[in-house]
Amino acid sequence: MDDYKYALIKDKISFCDSVKIYGELDNRIKAVIDGLFLRLDMTALTDYFRLKLDVFAAGEFYGKIMRAACLICKYTGDARLRKVVDSAAADMMSIQGDDGEISTAPKQKQPNGSYGSDLWERKYVLLGLWEYYAAFGGDGVLDCMKKLALYTASQVGDPPKTPITETGWAFCGIESSSILEPIVKLYNLTGEKELLSLAEHIVNSGFCKRQNVIDAVLSGVYPKDIGNNGVPEQSIAKAYEMMSCFEGLLEYYRATGIEKYKKCAGRFIDMINGREITYLGSGGADGPYNLGPGTGEQWNDTYFHQSDESIKLSMETCVTVTYMKLLLNYYRLTGDASLIDKIEVSLYNALYGAMKPDGSFFDYFPKFNGTRSTKVNFSYDINGIPLSCCTANGPMGLAVLPYAAYCEEENRCDLNLYFTSERHIKGFGVIKTETDHPLDNKITVTVTPETEREYALALRIPGFCKKYCLSHKYVFENGYAVIKKTWKEKEIITLTLDLPLVCHESPANDGKVLLTYGPLVLALDKSVDPCYDKPVPFDPGKITDYTILSSPFRIKIKDRIFIPYYKAGSSWDESTEYKCWLNK
């Protein structure tokens, strides 16, 4: 936020408004509006708080839906959705107690609730209202958030208050500690000292009663081993919640400028990128090391075991979305283009692959091999709509992308994600991008300046791209081809990327291989290739002869036909069973 006036650290990169996306992403966003947001009864989600229903984690749904819906509403300008979020914001504010209370739990059971999810749910109320305030403003919304945060600060902290690590349901305080993110955001906006004190308490606790997570990461403990007590069934290395704490830690770094915390977040990101994140761009699994609560959602050195067919539950969609958001958060501070490379992989594989075409549902555990599934670990029936945590969270992965596609530095625009899109830059002009990337390697950028001006356009060159051709003179800097010049009249820039077809040997050395094309994981789908489950009929080390087909996009290698992973399994039944990890 531009009015983060109490933050000591300002972001290097700013996300951009005034962007319009066309094509696949825009179609998916519209599907989520019609298939989920406009069908859900937001009043029923508020009822968990209004009626003090005090059931496990149901209060998270309001905030998850609200934050994505507000971002999407701001992007699309959809009047129907605006009516929904206006009503939902007013409804939640109307039930707030005079003391600031918004909770699903009765007072005598706060700040934990009967099942340990009270603070987790408050976090999502704050995040949902935060996105409403960021999109549409309103002093009443800010006042509501501030009162709820201060109410929480009156309950949580050093004794005689309740320590943060004495709350939560299974992970020794990690889940509750993730409330750090909205608490620090509100401090950075308002300067309320009580909020900074609460944030200091959470950070000093290290997020976890069993082991200080911050110290563990700085000392080199791998994510799967954090909080390990030697009993796999009691492991607490819960991927989604742990990453949520690091989102808060980055906000705390902005508030305090303490370099240690930025360093810790960066090291944590490097660790999960190296040990946990699969070729689909997500992580976590139901083994082989950690078997604790949240089956399938724990760090397990998943990168090294991603082809293991004994792993049945892996790569929770909540992990995918939170991972993307964590990388974007760190990107705003660093401008590191390699983070966008990884977000692109998550987008085109794990996130797109999890979404039902009608926008009504997100697969809880996307698979490398098998079928899309409606199996969930956790969901509630909301007036006839089965709402899981991942279906509530999935839209957020889509919602942030229009804002991250073009980003700004001083006198410069970074083109990060190549969608057919356009953006108006005040005081400069219009940038229009046309492409079928990543199904095609050509990107055309039309620049129409409003006035003569020196300005820099930076085009991201993906890390997988060893060769590329750019029509204009540029300087390569930190993953970007930077065109800096005085723009006088309309110009057309063409960028041609090398999209390599790569065969990857399984990290487990189990004789399996997987193919990628640029950022896309490829799959064999039964409905396209009846021999989808047979060993590959080519030398994995020497794939030089292949044909790229279009309309629809396919890659033919000898007699086998590969399609993008996200297009496989489209029927959500056995008729489109698919495989990505293939036997040699």
User: pLDDT per residue over 125-175, tens digit each?
Assistant: 999 999 999 999 999 999 999 999 999 999 999 999 999 999 999 999 999
Contact 553, 564 (CB under 8 A): yes
Nearest CA to 496 among 471, 479, 473, 476?
A: 471
Extract the tokens encoding 169. 């349901």
Output the pLDDT for position 18: 81
Q: What angle do the packed helices 193-205 and 139-155 form, to 10 degrees?
A: 50
Alpha-carbon gap, residue 412 to 447, rounded angstroms: 13
Mean pLDDT by 10 residues, the chain (584 residues): 87 90 97 98 98 98 98 97 98 98 98 98 98 96 98 98 98 98 98 98 98 98 98 97 98 98 98 98 98 96 97 97 98 97 98 97 97 94 96 98 94 96 93 97 97 96 96 96 97 97 95 96 97 88 88 94 98 97 94
According to the model, what pLDDT value does residue 35 have?
A: 98
Q: What is the pLDDT of residue 209?
A: 98
List every span in the chain annotated with CATH 1.50.10.20: 14-299+309-404
Residues 6+ apart with CB under 8 A from 158: 201
Cα–Cα distance between 265 and 245 in angstroms, integer?
Answer: 10
What is the pTM assigned to this prediction? 0.98
CA 199 to chain centroid, in Å, comes to 23
- The CATH number for 14-299+309-404, chosen from 3.90.280.10, 1.10.620.20, 3.30.1490.20, 1.50.10.20, is 1.50.10.20
Residues 6 or more apart whose CB falls under 8 angstroms from that of 148 comprise 96, 100, 101, 102, 122, 125, 126
pLDDT digits (tens, 9 = 90+) for 70-114: 999 999 999 999 999 999 999 999 999 999 999 999 999 999 999
Q: How far apart are CA 286 and CA 296, in angstroms?
A: 4
Please name the residue that has the structure tokens 């309103």. Answer: 138
For CATH 2.60.420, list the domain ranges present in the chain: 407-497
pLDDT (tens digit per residue) in 478-527:
999 999 999 999 999 999 999 999 999 999 999 999 999 999 999 999 99
pLDDT of residue 560: 94
In the prediction, which pLDDT does 539 show?
Answer: 82
Q: What is d(CA 175, CA 237) in angstroms, rounded to the nearest whole number?
A: 11
Asked if 37 and 50 count as a contact pair (C-beta separation under 8 A), the reply is no
Report the C-alpha gap between 171 and 191 in whole angstroms: 30
Looking at the domain that runs over 407-497, which CATH code has it been given? 2.60.420
What's the sign of the alpha-carbon dihedral 162, 166, 171, 173?
Answer: positive
The pLDDT value given to residue 136 = 97
C-alpha–C-alpha distance, residues 375 and 317, integer Å: 12
- Give the pLDDT of residue 1: 59
Extract the runs of DSSP E, i.e. beta strands, from 306-460.
379-382, 385-388, 406-409, 412-415, 421-425, 429-435, 442-449, 453-460
